[in-house]
């Protein structure tokens, strides 16, 4: 009966968001209250579960996401993203231009939230299309595949960062594993798959044709690459710090502080503010105004993450999480595959990769403890499932269709297939890693 209550609550969540067009945060709260009632939590305690779930989920996560948004904003506003594209295109030339755009999407996609990265980089795709007279879809899919993998697999993006917190995984380890998963995904779904789309016609709207901009005032290329990748460099390096301290307590304490994701993002933002802002003659007041705007952009993401935390806490407080873990523990299925399947089902139903990942995590979190599954790999497995089969209920599907001015049929044949390849290759890489780690 308890499992049926969970299934019914998730179905209500899906109906509220898809059919009822209810804001996801409000839908999470309503579904959480319904789940609490159905699972027998006393009415007076349901609000306490909601408060605890929201508080525990946001905690340090809110700081990381906000700092990440500010960091992405300075990368965008300073012209660093454009400079990275120009440098890579000069290095690769027309023959390897797809690979240059893919690497650009990957590097720029790490600090930028998906929608921001999409809007920022698609005009660059069109500028390449006009310059080299190449098909827009053929050129664009590799870059968009790279954006997708950073969105689904790599911190500090909201979903993988939140899943790390839910599963008590290691942010630096997840990041390293995420790179190992993401690179094959974007290569197969990008340049390799794009070869089949070379003859697909697209006529980007004049509205999205990029205006000519002066390159003279762009930041130095080395500065752009180093600063954009700084959070990755610091997070990856932090996993090596314990081996350097040799048991020295003072060094352990220092390295623990430096390895904290909040510290990493704050240091990265301070350096970026100076190298991409102040050194480029941007006024501090303007930089701070941009940072304020960036936080407004992620406010709804934070609320959705908070709502997912509330639902997870209701499941925990009701005891149903233990029931789910016991039930699933008897299934003859790899828990990583189970996480992938659940995320895929919710992704197809809801459209949002972030909501799909967070909802799945709330249900499957106890399974990680019970089965002994690798928490870091579970983050990536759910991330892969949350990217599967993007279709008409996904905002990314429509952004791509309208920007590239494609028919629905061609949008499915290019965008939907690309996203599905990312998910399937992602799962394959996670299972391969599971053999060795």
> For 247-295, how does the pLDDT look when each residue is reduced to its tens digit (9 = 90+)?
677 777 777 787 777 888 899 899 999 999 998 888 999 999 989 988 8
Q: CB neighbours of 261 closer than 8 A, spacing ≥ 6?
A: 60, 64, 155, 156, 161, 171, 235
Sign of CA dihedral 196, 198, 203, 209: positive
CB 410 within 8 A of CB 400: no
Phi-psi region for residue 405, left (φ > 0), alpha (ψ -120 to 50) or beta?
A: left
pTM listed for this prediction? 0.75
Interval 202-243: pLDDT, tens: 876 555 554 454 666 788 888 888 888 888 788 777 766 666
CB 202 within 8 A of CB 135: yes
Give the per-residue pLDDT at 209. 54
DSSP 8-state symbol, 274: I
- Looking up tokens 């630096």 gives 172
Among 343, 417, 435, 334, CA closest to 380: 343
Q: Give residue 87's pLDDT band: very low, low, confident or very high (50, 70, 90).
A: confident
Q: Give residue 327's pLDDT band: very low, low, confident or very high (50, 70, 90).
A: low
Host domain of residue 353: 2-436
Q: Give residue 133's pLDDT band: very low, low, confident or very high (50, 70, 90).
A: confident
**Residues 339-354, mean pLDDT to the nearest whole number:** 83
For residues 198 and 221, what is the distance between their CA atoms, to the nearest angstrom? 31
Q: What percent of the chain has pLDDT over 90?
A: 27
Question: Tokens standing for 336?
Answer: 């990583």
Find the helix or strand (DSSP H, E) in which 247 lies. Answer: none
CA gyration radius, the chain = 22
Give the per-residue pLDDT at 194. 93
Cα 169 to chain centroid, rounded = 16
Question: Tokens standing for 388?
Answer: 């599967």
Give the per-residue pLDDT at 247. 67
- Looking up tokens 């480029």 gives 280
Q: What are the respective helix, strand and coil percentages of the chain, to the nearest 5?
A: 80, 0, 20
Question: Tokens standing for 69?
Answer: 């948004």
Task: Let me know if 31 is exposed, middle or buried by CB neighbors in 10 A (0-12, 13-18, 19+).
Answer: buried
For the chain, what is the domain count? 1
Average pLDDT, the chain: 83
Give the per-residue pLDDT at 340. 94
Give the per-residue pLDDT at 189. 95
Query: Is 132 a residue whose pLDDT tops 70?
Result: yes
For residues 325 and 57, what is the distance between their CA atoms, to the nearest angstrom? 21
For residues 70 and 114, what is the distance between their CA atoms, to the nearest angstrom? 14
**Residues 300-327, mean pLDDT to the nearest whole number:** 76
Q: What percent of the chain has pLDDT over 70?
A: 90
**Residues 303-312, mean pLDDT to the nearest whole number:** 82
Interval 3-45: pLDDT, tens: 788 888 888 888 888 788 888 889 889 999 998 999 889 988 9
């Amino acid at each position: 009966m308890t499992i049926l209550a969970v299934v019914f609550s998730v179905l209500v969540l899906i109906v509220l968001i898809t059919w009822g067009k209810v804001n996801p945060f409000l839908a999470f709260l309503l579904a959480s209250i319904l789940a609490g009632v159905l699972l027998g939590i006393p009415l007076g305690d349901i609000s306490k579960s909601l408060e605890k779930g929201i508080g525990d989920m946001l905690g340090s996560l809110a700081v990381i996401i906000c700092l990440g948004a500010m960091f992405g904003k300075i990368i965008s506003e300073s012209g660093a993203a454009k400079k990275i594209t120009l440098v890579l295109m000069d290095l690769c030339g027309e023959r390897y231009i797809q690979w240059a755009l893919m690497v650009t999407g990957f590097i720029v996609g790490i600090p930028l939230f998906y929608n921001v990265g999409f809007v920022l980089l698609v005009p660059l795709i069109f500028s390449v299309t006009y310059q080299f007279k190449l098909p827009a879809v053929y050129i664009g899919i590799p870059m968009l595949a790279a954006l997708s993998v950073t969105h689904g697999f790599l911190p500090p993006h909201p979903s993988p960062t939140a899943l790390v917190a839910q599963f008590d995984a290691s942010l630096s380890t997840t990041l390293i594993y995420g790179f190992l998963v993401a690179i094959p995904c974007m290569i197969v779904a990008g340049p390799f798959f794009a070869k089949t789309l070379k003859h697909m016609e697209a006529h980007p709207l004049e509205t999205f044709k990029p205006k000519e901009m002066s390159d003279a005032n762009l930041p130095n290329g080395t500065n752009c690459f180093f600063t954009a990748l700084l959070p990755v460099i610091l997070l990856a390096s932090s996993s090596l710090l314990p081996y350097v301290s040799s048991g020295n307590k003072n060094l352990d304490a220092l390295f623990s502080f430096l390895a904290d994701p909040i510290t990493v993002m704050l240091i990265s933002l301070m350096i970026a503010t100076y190298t991409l802002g102040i050194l480029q003659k941007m006024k501090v007041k303007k930089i701070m105004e941009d940072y304020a705007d960036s936080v407004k952009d992620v406010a709804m993401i934070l609320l959705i993450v908070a709502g997912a935390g509330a639902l997870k806490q209701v499941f925990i407080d009701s005891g149903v999480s233990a029931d789910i873990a016991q039930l699933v523990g008897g299934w003859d299925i790899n828990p990583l595959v189970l996480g992938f399947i659940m995320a895929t089902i919710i992704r197809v139903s809801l459209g949002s990769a972030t909501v799909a990942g967070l909802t799945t995590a709330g249900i499957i979190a106890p399974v990680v403890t019970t089965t002994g599954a690798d928490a870091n790999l579970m983050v990536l497995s759910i991330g892969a499932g949350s990217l599967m089969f993007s279709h008409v209920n996904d905002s990314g599907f429509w952004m791509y269709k309208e920007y590239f001015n494609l028919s629905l049929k061609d949008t499915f044949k290019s965008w939907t297939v690309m996203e599905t390849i990312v998910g399937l290759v992602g799962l394959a890489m996670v299972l391969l890693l599971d053999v060795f780690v």
